[in-house]
Chains A and B, each alone.
Chain A
Amino acid sequence: MQLIIAPRYIKQFAKTLQCLSKIGEDLYIQATEESIKFITVNSAKSTYVEVNMQYGFLEAYHEVEQSFGMQYKLRAKQCYQMFSSIKNVEKCAINISSDNNKVNFHMLCKNNIQKHYGVNCELATCSNALYSKNTPHRLSVKPKVLNDCLSFFSGTLEEISFQIQKDRFILRSYSDSPKKSSNIKSLQTEVNIDYADFDQYLTDGSNTEISFSFKDLKTIMAYCDSMNSGIDMYISQSGDPFHIHFKLTQNFEIDFVIATILMPSSQPSSQSSTNQQQQQQQQQQSSSSYQNKSYSYNNNNNNNSNQQYTNTSQNRTPNSYNSNIHHQHQHSTSQLSNNDNFGGFDNFDDQMDIQPPQPQAQQPIQQPIQNVHRNPSQQQIQPINPLQHTPQPSPNVSQITNKPMTFLERMGHRPLDEDDDDELSDSHNVDSMDEDGSDNAPSSFQGQ
């Protein structure tokens, strides 16, 4: 596959690669007949970026060696570095050949200097995000408006909230754990923007609030601002993906999809019906309950079978709960976990922008049944209302040691850890109670 970037867009192309490399570590290149896509997902799988380039932005684009339909994975940082002397680049061509697993960048610079960069790549498939443009809140704005506001926030902020009110748009620093000790307290910022500052402000007036990663939003807004073109934001509710659409020209569009934190209040009430089951499965709960509170793209409709299915999948696939990103081509080892990641999948079916190739509408129905047959001991885990959670001391010792926190920490998924705070402290309380009751060693030790 060969492509040449139109000379007037080389600067924009370099900026895009820089933005991609700031968000994700790996860059996926997917070529199809009509367009070429650059995709990246951040390490926590909470932010997904898809750049769509077509002829027009590209000066030339054609297939070599049947490379269409393939996906190549390469390190995003390496792709950006070659554009450090962007002023001198007059022409840029990219050539992917599967023979030697290399993506070749050819640059024609001033004074007829030619540069060739070969970046190693491999065939790999990237996760895809599911999102919809048919959301209750649709806002169009100049990125500068938001970018200016983001500069008011503390640099150490991890998550930010957007609240969409009837006549104003509120940005707020989000912290989910007010119990944190005083020395970690940080600056709290709230910005109110009048709806008149937006180019388009469509809302159903439901006062929706979504929270998500601040760092990625900052990267995205800084990028969009530098590209000098408006953005469209599609917001549905907390827990659902927040979609930013950026369009530079007809031939160059970017979709940013950011996972939002699922607020406890937005959980459907039907879950309380299985309280009894929960208590029997106390042990599994503590390991899975925080997943239910976590980033989730699963649609929270009240369809019971769907709900159960969703939760089962969350219980079993700790690495995929936090987004609706999933693999198009399942690897044999992780087929199940990839498949059953979509509770509310059928709702999105007709709105999906990206359709995984296989017919998927049937999966949600089939999969739960399979689960039950395969693994009868597996119980369905429901999200817990923290208030109803009555700690049961007995199974907790093993439960705490088995807590998959380390795994998550390894994934670098910090928002989740914080999300877990309520549950965690709960477990810790139980833990300490347990210790006090059964074993007096810690206190007597302190006494000495």
Chain B
Amino acid sequence: MKFRAKLYKSKILLKLVQNMMKIHTECVMHITPKKIRFIVNSGDIEDGIQVFYDLPSESFFENEFSIQSIANNEIQFQIQLENLRRVLLSAINSNDITIRLTKKQSEPYLHFVIKSSSSTVVLYQDIPIILLTTQQLAMMTEPILPDPQVYIQMPDIKTIQNVIDKMKNLSEQLVITISMKSQLTLQVESPAGSITTHYTGLSHPLIDTNKGKDQAPDSSSAIVDIKKILKVLHIHQLKPEEVVCCIFEGKCLLFHVIIQDVSATYYLPIIIK
């Protein structure tokens, strides 16, 4: 098993890692010749948020990388996000970062060599990792869902976050309703009162659906834990270009996020009454 690469765009990666840390403290990295995939999955059934980040290899490693393994040249391992964050933070002023897979005292490590043109200091960082088998990885695949029937492009995430933050004081559960007539409604209820926020005039991204439009419901709603959706909304820090929210009634709430060439998918459990 061999892996060696030069890391570019370390600052973007740092931001992504900081964002993942909002969900969970560790993640699984799955590196293939085509893409780097981060799987953040708390493993806790209670929590149930699953996040998949897909980064194109050629954009972060710029062809200066080699990967070899008996499993289709793919490598997957578990890594502590805090360690990765610290290493990327220490590389913030550097423009020459090399990553390698090494073994020290028969323990696997992700070895970083960080150099900077402005200083003579050479920094070596070794992050302990736990290598996973393909079988273990197979248990972390994305949930299989049908094509979404209700979906909408979210307005500015930052304002949504502010709105939901206020709603948090009233109730722990948020009702999110998407209408295919360009409308999004956020609602919290308590015995004392309710707050509803309406957004209109939003656009729907084009999604190829096999089924005819007439069969699809006009609108759909889901109840989610307000704290969990707030965790997801931290993505506004990444200044995403596009955030699409889909409701799979009775199944889950899904956010597709596109940040430059990185795409992320958040799966949120919904509360069924």
Tell me if chain B binds chain A. Answer: yes
Binding site for B on A (CB under 8 A): 149, 151-152, 154-155, 178, 182, 185-194, 196-197
Which residues of A sit under 8 angstroms from B104, Cβ to Cβ? 188
A333 CA to B226 CA, complexed, in Å: 64
Which residues of chain B have C-beta atoms less than 8 A from A186's C-beta?
83, 128
Contact A187 B128 (CB under 8 A): yes
> Cβ of A188 and Cβ of B125 under 8 Å apart?
yes
Q: How far is the CB of B269 from chain A (nearest CB, A)?
A: 27
Chain A residues with CB below 8 A from B128, complex form: 182, 185-188
> Shortest beta-carbon distance, A158 to chain B, in Å?
16
Interface contact B120-A152, CB-CB below 8 Å:
no
Nearest CB in chain B to that of A179: its residue: B105
CA A152 to CA B92, docked complex, whole Å:
11
Chain B residues near A178: list those with CB within 8 A. 105, 107
Of residues 112 through 139 on chain B, the ones whose CB sits less than 8 Å from some CB of chain A are: 119-128, 130
Contact partners of B119 in chain A: CB under 8 A: 197
**9 additional A-B residue pairs with CB within 8 Å, beyond A155-B86, A189-B123:** A152-B90, A182-B107, A186-B128, A187-B87, A189-B125, A191-B121, A194-B121, A197-B119, A197-B120
A189 to B125, CA, bound (A): 4
B125: contacting residue among A152, A185, A192, A196, CB under 8 A: A152
Q: Which 7 A-B pairs have the closest CB atoms?
A: A185-B128, A188-B126, A194-B120, A152-B90, A190-B124, A192-B122, A187-B83
Among residues of A, the one whose C-beta sits closest to the C-beta of B120 is A194
B114 to nearest A CB, angstroms?
8
Kindly state the separation between the CA atoms of A281 and B206 in the bound complex, as whole angstroms.
83
Residues of B within 8 A of A154 (CB): 83, 86
How close is B82's CB to chain A, nearest CB, in angstroms? 8
- Chain A residues with Cβ below 8 Å from B130 are 182
Q: Which of A187, A192, A193, A196 interacts with B86 by CB under 8 Å?
A: A187
- Judge whether A152 and B109 touch: CB under 8 Å: no
With A151-B90, A182-B107 in contact, do A187 and B127 touch (Cβ < 8 Å)? yes
Q: How far apart sit A196 and B121, CA to CA, in the bound complex (Å)? A: 10
A149 touching B121 by the CB < 8 A rule?
yes
User: A187 contacts which chain B residues (CB < 8 A)?
Assistant: 83, 86-87, 125-128
A188 to B110, CA, bound (A): 10
27 A-B residue pairs with CB within 8 Å: A151-B90, A152-B86, A152-B90, A152-B123, A152-B125, A154-B83, A154-B86, A178-B105, A178-B107, A185-B107, A186-B83, A187-B86, A187-B125, A187-B127, A187-B128, A188-B109, A188-B125, A188-B126, A189-B126, A190-B123, A190-B125, A190-B126, A192-B123, A192-B124, A194-B120, A197-B120, A197-B121
Chain B: which residue is nearest A192 at the CB level? B122
Name the residue on B nearest A151 (C-beta).
Answer: B90
Main secondary structure of the interface of A (DSSP, over half): mixed
* Smallest beta-carbon distance B87→chain A, Å: 7
Cβ 8 A contact of B124, one of A151, A191, A197: A191
As a 0/1 sequence over residues 13 to 26 of chain B, the CB contacts with chain A under 8 angstroms (1 = contact) are 00000000000000
Alpha-carbon gap, A154 to B90, bound state (A): 11
Contact partners of A193 in chain B: CB under 8 A: 120-121
Specify the chain B residue showing the minimal Cβ separation from A189.
B125
User: Which residues does chain B contribute within 8 Å of A185, judged by CB atoms?
Assistant: 107, 128
Closest to A156 in B: B82
Residue of B nearest to A190 (CB): B124
Chain B minimum-CB-distance residue to A183:
B130
A178 to B106, CA, bound (A): 10
State the CA gap A193–B107 with chains docked (Å).
27
> B100: shortest Cβ distance to chain A, in Å?
14
- Quote the shortest CB–CB distance from B156 to chain A (angstroms): 35
B121 x A189 contact (CB < 8 A): no
Give every chain A residue within 8 A of B83 (Cβ-Cβ). Answer: 154, 186-187
Nearest CB on B from A145, distance (A) = 8
CA distance in complex: A189, B123 (Å):
7
* A171 CB, min distance to chain B CBs, angstroms: 9
Give Cα A196 to B120, complex, Å: 9
Among residues of B, the one whose C-beta sits closest to the C-beta of A188 is: B126
Chain B residue numbers with a CB within 8 Å of A194 are 120-121
Q: Write out the residue numbers on chain A whose beta carbons fall within 8 Å of the beta carbon of B122.
A: 191-192
Taking CB atoms, residues of chain A closer than 8 Å to B109 are 188
Closest CB in chain B relative to A148 CB, distance in Å:
8
Q: Which residues of B contact A149 (CB under 8 A)?
A: 121, 123
CB of B103, distance to nearest CB on chain A (Å): 12
- How far does the Cβ of A142 sit from chain B's closest Cβ, in whole Å? 13
Distance of A149 Cα from B120 Cα, bound (Å): 12
Inter-chain CA distance A196–B124, complex, in Å, is 19
A361 to B84, CA, bound (A): 54
Q: In the assembly, what is the distance between CA of A188 and CA of B113, in Å?
A: 12
Residues of B contacting A196 with CB < 8 Å? Answer: 120
CB-CB under 8 A from A191, the residues of chain B are: 121-124
Contacts of B120 in A (CB 8 A): 193-194, 196-197
- B residues in contact with A151, CB < 8 Å: 90
Q: Could you say which of A155, A182, A188, A192 contacts B121, with CB atoms under 8 Å apart?
A: A192
Closest CB in chain B relative to A141 CB, distance in Å: 12
Give Cα A191 to B130, complex, Å.
24
What CA separation (Å) do A190 and B86 show in the bound complex? 13
Chain B residue with Cβ nearest A172:
B124
State the Cβ distance, A191 to closest chain B Cβ, in Å: 5
B124 to chain A: which residues have CB within 8 Å? 189-192
With A and B bound together, what is the CA distance between A154 and B104 in angstroms? Answer: 18
When chains A and B are docked, how far (Å) is the Cα of A182 from the Cα of B107?
Answer: 8
Assembly CA distance A446 to B59 (angstroms): 54
Closest approach, in angstroms, between the C-beta of B18 and any C-beta of chain A? Answer: 16
CB contacts (< 8 Å) of A190 on chain B: these are: 123-126
Compute how far the CA of A186 lies from the CA of B122 in the bound complex, rounded to whole angstroms: 20
